[in-house]
Amino acid sequence: MRFIGLFTSLMLFSACGSEETVKVGLSARVGASSGAQAVRGKVAQQLEASTGITIDRVRLSVRELELEHEGDDSDDGQQGGPDEDRPDSRDDDSEQEIGPFLIDLSEEDLNGRVIRVGNLHVEPGIFDEIEFDIGKVSTTEAGEDAALKELAQLGASVIIDGSIDGEPFSFVSSIRVEQEREAHFEVKQGEEPNITINIDPTGWFVDAEGQRLDPRNESARSTIEDNLRRSIDAFDDDDMDSNEDDDSDDNQDD
């Protein structure tokens, strides 16, 4: 049920690995951010207790995720390729990218666990930036991925299915979320680093005063979408503990 479309999208990228590249795991998590860490398995219960809203399924269309080598702005025309449908994409060869793909989490995967969803292969080195672009894609870009194509046909980048006061709802949005996230991590041969995309739902359906927002109410849409934009992050998380890795720990061990 989960990741049916996601693995179809990522298999092509996983197959591109070679002796000159290193596999980087790509994971996703729905749960409170590290600054407000939820007890594992209690995310849905917390939402229901505070707002009467439960979340049953979360789908996000990721147009692109890119890793950028530190201090490398060279462009030899080898990386990537024509991307005329993505005006915000760069031609920088130092950016090693993957996408589009779908994140589709439901049931037990909404309990705050970090779930491996695929792999990409990059050249070894130090990376100083993670960029991601959440947005709707065309049916052509979705290709043979039926689950991603479903969102494309709806013109959606995000679909949240759940219930409010026991009544089902489906919140469909075409928001665009682009983030350039500063980072500092090294990818080495013989190691398997990981990037986690964290989605924090705890603030989606409350306003600045802490009052509940009804996802069925069109007047609440703008605020909910702003909350969604702020809830998505990506960071290096090699141990898959849902916290950004601290490189200073490695230095202290030396």
Q: Residue 111, Cα to own-chain centre: how many angstroms?
A: 16
pLDDT tens digits, 169-221? 999 999 999 999 888 888 998 888 999 999 999 999 999 999 999 999 999 99
Q: pTM for this structure? A: 0.79
**Start-to-end CA span in the chain (Å):** 45
Q: Say if CB 24 and CB 122 are below 8 A apart.
A: yes
Cα dihedral 57, 232, 45, 224 in deg (nearest 10): -80
Report in angstroms the alpha-carbon separations of 126 from 49, 133, 191, 253: 43, 22, 13, 19
- Whole-number pLDDT of residue 96: 82
What is the pairing mode between strands 22-30 and 194-199?
parallel
Q: Where are the domains of the chain?
A: 4-253
What pLDDT digit, counting tens, does each position of 78-105 carry?
333 333 333 333 344 445 888 999 999 9
